[in-house]
A and B are shown apart, each in its own frame.
Chain A
Amino acid sequence: MNARAEILDRIRSALRDAPAVPEVPRDYRRSAEHGQEELIELLTDRLLDYKANVFVEDAAAVPQRLAALLEGTVRYAVPHGLDQALFAAADVHDGGPARRVTDAPGHRLGVGELDAVDAVVTGSAVAVAETGTIILDAGPDQGRRVISLVPDRHICLVRAGDITAILPEALRRLDGTRPQTWISGPSATSDIELERVEGVHGPRTLDVVIVRE
């Protein structure tokens, strides 16, 4: 018998008492009522707790904010689907678009190139205020998983309308089969005497720009 058949056989045999399949009680919270300002406040609080940097901006002010955050970077990466207009101020500020590299289908940034940039700017799919979690699902404004991983600094845009209060609400907005990265603060470890250290292998700095629409 091959391994597959044998294992399934063993399992069926183990279950010969035919245990009942219980009804799953789903009386935990599956949605929560919160106003948008409340959600922004809660998400901000959680992200600060994780030692992320948080900026809340009106949509019109985002290019200025990005320019300020990107000041001093020699080169930064963006996914092709992120609105180019967002970088108008940043690029003018430093004299030319050469410092912005775009990851696009047919023009993929290599790992070496990503390792050499100072920062990456991406959008996000949905956020969970209660847990301070930002979820990326590789949409065009977020790009491949690798681009938000290799650069040492991740600047992430979160639309206020994409913030949910609790996790079940967020999952209902997502397609589970897309590659996803859930981010709650920058990379961290507590492996040495339980002292928390931010930044091991993932980006050591996480800047979150919450965009009011």
Chain B
Amino acid sequence: MSEKIKVEMNDWLFNAGIIGFVNILEHSGDKVEKYDNYIEFKEEVLDDFEEKYFKYLIDTYEKQLSWNKIVSYRPIIEHFKEEGLDQFNKDNLERLNSYIKDVKYYTKSASYKAAYNLIESNKNVIELSKSLKTIKVRKKDTIESVLEKVNYSHQILEEIIDYMDNPSHKKYLAGKNVIYTIVKNSWNGISFLNPQTKEKNIYIDFKEYFVKPTTEYIEIDKSKYKYNCFNCDNQIKDLKNHYGFLNNIGFDVDKKASHVWKFNNDAAMCPICKLIYSCTPAGIMYVYNRGIFINDNINIASLINTNNKIKYEINNEEKISSGSTYKALMNSLAQKYNNKIKYEISDIQVIRYEDENYRFNILSKQMLNILNNTSEDLSKLINSGYKEINTYFNIYELVIDRLFNNQNLFTLVHKLLIFKLSSPNNCRFNNLHIKRVLNINKKFMEGMGFMNVKEKDIIKSASGSGYYLREKYRQKGAVDKLSGISYRLLNAIKTNNKDMFMDTLLNCYLYAQKSVPKIFLDALKDEENFKNIGYAFVTGLIEGKENGGDNNAK
């Protein structure tokens, strides 16, 4: 029997490939031996590897596939089959119509058509879906008038679902899905992602392109080969297998030099490494076109553990959205943090795939501490956001993004306050959310040593002052004046103009005939205190408490 094959950890992308490889095999019940910085496996596990590859990807990403959109309607049809259409109402019809549109759209798309050709069946799905039509109720008519059509649609749809759901069909349909929604994020242009590929069967294509060369390579005598794999240094015959198929190998700060090398023509890899790289979609966790990977490379076990936590978190979301990656990442980091004794925590490299690019962050021990200390405030921001020129921004993500890059949150707070003043209708957040952001920022600045830790809760105290001043203005029937004042204060904070700020502030208190709270004396000390106190004050001043509590406090 052949000896075991050993694969060692390397840079983050290869590590993602190793994790993917292990996930794929273990999902099918194969054994991989895991050591600190390498894995070992027997050649036999590569038998039917293409089946295992797709099975893992389909099972892991099923919720994100259009295939799932089609078959997940089945319970609804079954419900009406059992209960009859007596209770079928307008909402049901609306849902049915939008579903019909989806089905018609997907079933005639190129990737579905390509899959039909691989399936042995006399059913013509395209014809079936052509016969489907959205159902309209004429103004004068009642819903009863269309129930027959509904019934007919249900029958057709059930036929289509049966077709899609058949395991020997699913492997191709969902397989095609997974290629275009997931695999394409990692690599492209070769094997089943080569538009010119001669082999139409994605399974055979993968086997021929990746698996077979690997087993051949394992068996063959390599001692006369004169080149070396750039990744693992094993001898290779030629330089055909270059790195070009890997998407946007971003410049990882630490490994910059080696990546530059990989773009050179003489950088090529062995078939084993190539197979491992092909498994990156099973190692990086993707949600549609976003991906996340934590290169927690102390050892293979912790690498797997940390990243599978992300996978678990995402797949347990009720509704997966691209924002799920952030939440899952934070939860995974939190778990990691809590499982360790403080001194064991070390820097972690986080890789995010967004807008077709990899982003790298090294989270220091200090930053992990901060993230842990702010997790409660952070979690309350998950559903908050704002719309700007038709794009929705999630505050939770914006905050995390800045923290990962070691940036303070003042410009974000400024933006939120200006937004609240100028276009409140586009704001899905209130002053309590801004206070949370300020709290996080304060902890960040203290944690990074930019600010002394104070006993006093300056955010609470300053925003409270804003609130009470607003109350006073309300009593005087002058709330309208506050928006102009807020703009002026924000401008003063942004430009770090304490004189302008204090001048405006004193005028307000003079108008209210109230004394200036002593918290503002702290604001005079330094820029950090000034900004924290200033922004917190305006936060209270803009909205007061009348807009209710934390929407996400639940």
| A, B in one complex | no
